[in-house]
Amino acid sequence: VQIVESGGGLVQAGGSLTLSCAASGFDHDDYVVEWFRQAPGKEREGVSCIKPKDGSTWSSNSAKGRFTISRDNAKNMVYLQMNNLNPEDTAVYYCAVDANRGTYCSNNNPAAIYDYWGQGTQVTVSS
């Protein structure tokens, strides 16, 4: 199993970034992919989740209306399009996979249930 994020960087407030997550090596397609983020001194928080098999999603209140999660199953890719970024979005963003069969996206999915994590990608939003 391999999880690799890319696409982070420095952007001005109001700008956009698209994060990519390459998730491969699974022996089934019944898993979910969630983007988490962790800012300095803060707990890791869930941002947005997708179940590639059926396209169902969940997004946090801070992401709704600004971030869009999507997938390309043929490429084993999940994307997070982030618009109208603000300095509070500055964090390391992680892609994580819960590979337990029957799992689904939910606002109650804690980070502890995710089996596989990428190395993280830094997003910095300047004011």
Q: What are the pLDDT digits (tens) for 73-104? A: 999 999 999 999 999 999 999 999 999 998 99
Residues in the chain: 127
- Residues 13-66 pLDDT 10s: 999 999 999 999 998 889 999 999 999 999 999 999 999 999 999 999 999 999
Strand order in the sheet with 67-72: 2-6, 17-24, 77-82, 67-72
- Residues 42-55 pLDDT 10s: 999 999 999 999 99
Q: pLDDT at position 107, please? A: 84
Q: pLDDT at position 124, please? A: 98
Strand partners, 121: 93
Q: pLDDT at position 119, please? A: 96
